Copies of this chain bind each other. A is one copy, B any other.
């Protein structure tokens, strides 16, 4: 992820988005938080794709800086930090879901993932609402 190129010019929304999550590792971190409810450094480190420690730390710091994630110390264990998705972060859910849908058309998936895709197709808004509820955030207004 290029810090040098992290400047969107001319106000293009896609360029703005790519400045924030237009790299593989950031997208995967967001996936883990949105779809799997992961909230801790060590748990995020455990993803299948094996992110490097410095990359994970860098990405979490970045996501906090852009307001996608909130970092708070766990009062019961001050070594540990809780990373929560903000409203801005949760609002990335539809993007993640569209990625799942697109990939679902071109990738062999196991049964549980096929069922996830079916869930998304069957009741997308309900699925989104569940993710928001899990994070104790109010869901967005329903779109048609």
Question: Quick check: is A118 within 8 A (CB to CB) of the other chain?
Answer: no
Question: Quick check: is A99 within 8 A (CB to CB) of the other chain?
Answer: yes
Provide the A115-128 mask, 1 if CB < 8 A to any CB of B, else 0. Answer: 00100010010000
Residues 97-144 of A at the B interface (beta carbon under 8 Å): 98-110, 113, 117, 121, 124, 143-144
Q: What number of copies of this chain does the assembly contain? A: 2
Interface size on A, residues (CB 8 A): 49
Question: Quick check: is A92 within 8 A (CB to CB) of the other chain?
Answer: yes
A99-B108 contact in complex given A15-B49, A18-B28, A143-B121, C-beta closer than 8 Å: no
Question: Quick check: is A23 within 8 A (CB to CB) of the other chain?
Answer: yes
CB contacts (< 8 Å) of A110 on chain B: these are 11
Question: Quick check: is A94 within 8 A (CB to CB) of the other chain?
Answer: yes
Question: Quick check: is A43 within 8 A (CB to CB) of the other chain?
Answer: no
- Are B28 and A15 touching (Cβ within 8 A)? yes
CA gap between A16 and B104 in the complex, in Å:
9
